[in-house]
Structures are given as structure tokens and as C-alpha cells.
Amino acid sequence: MISNTGCPTNKINYDYDTLMHTIPAGFAVFQLISNNDESPDDYRFLSINSVFEKITQLKSADITNRTLMEILPDTGKYWTGMFYHVSDNSELVVFEHYSADFDKFLQVSVSFSFPSQLFCSLIDITGRKKTEAKLLEVQIIANIGRGELDLVSGCLEWSEGIFDLFEISRKDFPPLVSHSLCLFILMTA
């Protein structure tokens, strides 16, 4: 059998299975369930990979063909709302979220693909979030700050410690490279 892409279907299935079981992120495929007015009402788990199982402690055999609201009754509405945004706008959405269900910080990427299907990837970022919290605590105790420049985008971020250290406000002194140079000159003068 040949797919609409011209590739044999067994090749596509092999590639899909390989992807699902080799990517280092949790991965799930959901089917959109619409209500009478065609807006998403819930999402059905179609498949998940082993990393998704490890991150969430949910087993594929227990959740496949069940809905988000069945599996996560307390937070299913939150996830349904986030997924609705994706399906409504047909765009990739990436966000960070603390999940009380799993007691983990997650980086979540969701995209709308085939008709009525969503792809979701999860990365456990709990370790990074704990390290960031410790770093912030140390900065406050030591009365220091940090700056971070993204060389690709040119975006500059300053921690609150920078603003406190130099007694400046974010509104009056936004993080710009030229302002960073001025602060560096002040420190070394």
C-alpha cells in the first residue's frame, strides 16, 4: 500500500515507531473530541512512548483510548484549555508548567497535525527548575545578580539582583547591551 506521500505505508509506520521510541522526550498523540458546537471538549490518548510513561507514571495499557478528563480529572480542564489554544490556532505552542499530578516541572510542546490530532512532547525540567531556585536564593543572600545574553536572538535578560544591586528599575533601565556596558564601566571605575 502506498500513502498519499508516495512512500510505502510500512515505511511510514516504521519511521513513526522509530521516532516514538527513540526521541529523548515523552511523546503522546491525542485525538480531539468535539462537542456539539465543534469546539474541543476533551482529548483521547491514542499512543504514548516509554519516556512519557516514565515522566508521568501513566502506563500506555491503562490510558490508551481513554480521555484526559478520565485520567486527570482534577487538571484535565487545564490541559484541555491549553490544547484548545493549539487546535484553534494550528500553531506550535511551547510552555513550562508545574504539574501537581506528576509533582514535576514540565516543558510541554504541543502541535496540531492530522485532522483532529495533537502531538504533545514532555521534557522533565524539574532538576533545572530546582537549580534555578537555588541560584536565585544564593543571588539574594550574596547580593549579586546575573545577566544572560542570547547570541542568536540578541535578547538580554537580567535577574532581579542586577536591578537591586544598582538600585535601578526595570521600567527606567531595561536590559540592553548598551546599559550593560554602562554598568560594567561603573563597576570597574
Assign residue 78 the CATH number of its domain: 3.30.450.20
Among the candidates 106, 124, 142, a domain finishes at 124
Report pLDDT for 48: 94
pTM: 0.69
User: Can you tell me the distance from the alpha carbon of 184 to that of 158, in angstroms, rounded to the nearest whole number?
Assistant: 13
Q: Which residues of the chain have pLDDT under 50?
A: 1-4
Q: Is residue 158 part of a domain?
A: yes
Q: Is residue 2 part of a domain?
A: no
Are residues 19 and 98 located together in one domain of the fold?
Answer: yes
One-letter amino acid for residue 11 of the chain: K
Report pLDDT for 107: 95
The domain in which residue 171 lies consists of 128-188
CA angle (122 as vertex; 116, 128 as ends), nearest 5:
155
Q: Which three cell numbers stand for residue 22?
A: 527513540
Among the candidates 73, 100, 124, a domain finishes at 124
What's the number of domains the chain is made of?
A: 2
**Residues 110, 103: contact at Cβ < 8 Å?**
no
Report pLDDT for 46: 93
Report pLDDT for 165: 79
Report pLDDT for 163: 80
Report pLDDT for 135: 86
Report pLDDT for 2: 40
Report pLDDT for 57: 94
Distances (CA, A) of 179 to 31, 37, 172, 188: 49, 52, 11, 14
**Residues 55, 26: contact at Cβ < 8 Å?**
yes
Q: Is residue 153 part of a domain?
A: yes
Report pLDDT for 52: 94
Report pLDDT for 160: 81
User: Can you tell me the distance from the alpha carbon of 79 to that of 43, in angstroms, rounded to the nearest whole number?
Assistant: 9
Contacts of 50 (CB under 8 A, 6+ apart): 21
Report pLDDT for 124: 96
Report pLDDT for 142: 82
